[in-house]
A and B are shown apart, each in its own frame.
Chain A
Amino acid sequence: MEYIISKYNYWIYIILMMIGFYAMIAKKNLVKKIVGLNIFQTAIILYFVSIGAKKGATLPIVVYDPANAAGHAIQAVLYVNPLPHVLMLTAIVVMVATFGVALAFIIRIYRQYGTVEEDDILARED
């Protein structure tokens, strides 16, 4: 039982991902689908950032200790892994860009069809 419960942090991210995924595939309103996409991307970002965490480590900013002068090497085990943070900065910006362009598309669809419900758009196409 302990072996299963020890990975509970991944379960939280998976539950958040599945909430976003359900909103993307089951809702009929276009804006709700895009909000579901946003939730999904946020869950992915959380998951990646948590991979780089280390127990008992501090922020990835080098701390100047005036007591020990320069000459002490920086130990990699004392600092949190900075690589997932860097990649997720890019992912956040891509999230914002995707959201902006998706909203622009929805406005164009509304201008053309007069509605943002998927069923009405499909019915109006023929």
Chain B
Amino acid sequence: MIERVQDVIIETACRFLVPFIQLFALYVVAHGHYSPGGGFQGGCILGASFILICVAYDIEETKRRMTENLNTFYCSLGVIIFAGVGLVCVALGGNYLDYGVLHKIFPVDPAGARSLGILIIEIGVGFTVMAVMISIFLNVASKGKHEDELK
């Protein structure tokens, strides 16, 4: 169980840092094309920002910011985006996950369409990894009973 420690310095410092961590995570996801990064790395950093809230406050505050239903939705949203892009490529006439045929619906040439396809699936992977990191941490740290249901 995570007990709440009411310390002004820890709470203020963590609240100040969390938006910058999330912005950096979005930067890592978006710049996966040009620098080391990508979906998995950015998703882990996004999940770490919520785990920082959980460590500084307690589980109730984290669940107030990211409810359990929304977390479960993000878990499956990433896989749906990934598989959905593959199906869209099949519908447009190519093979499964063949991003070259995406130039029929986006105004780019076939090589740029592959870059666009990679960006879309990295966003999907980022969603799934973030949601699973938060979910695993909350379940293991609270041993299954999130505190607000004990009251």
Contacts and interface: CB of A to CB of B under 8 A. Distances in A.
B35 A104 contact: no
A92 B39 CA distance: 13
Interface residues of A, number: 12
B36 A107 contact: no
A104 B139 contact: yes
B109 to A, nearest CB: 16
A15 interface: no
Given A93-B40, A93-B129, A103 B140 contact: yes
Nearest to A111: B143
B144 interface: yes
Contact of B140 (A59, A89, A96, A107): A107
Interface in A38-63: 59, 61
Interface in A84-126: 89, 92-93, 96-97, 100, 103-104, 107, 111
Contact of A61 (B36, B38, B129): B36
Interface string A24-47: 000000000000000000000000
Contacts of A100: 136, 140
B143 A89 contact: no
B140 A104 contact: yes
Contacts of B133: 96
Interface string B34-58: 1110101000000000000000000
A89 B40 contact: yes
A45 to B, nearest CB: 14
Interface of A: 59, 61, 89, 92-93, 96-97, 100, 103-104, 107, 111
Interface of B: 34-36, 38, 40, 129, 132-133, 136, 139-140, 143-144
20 contacts: A59-B36, A61-B34, A61-B35, A61-B36, A89-B38, A89-B40, A92-B40, A93-B40, A93-B129, A96-B133, A97-B132, A100-B136, A100-B140, A103-B140, A104-B139, A104-B140, A107-B140, A107-B143, A107-B144, A111-B143
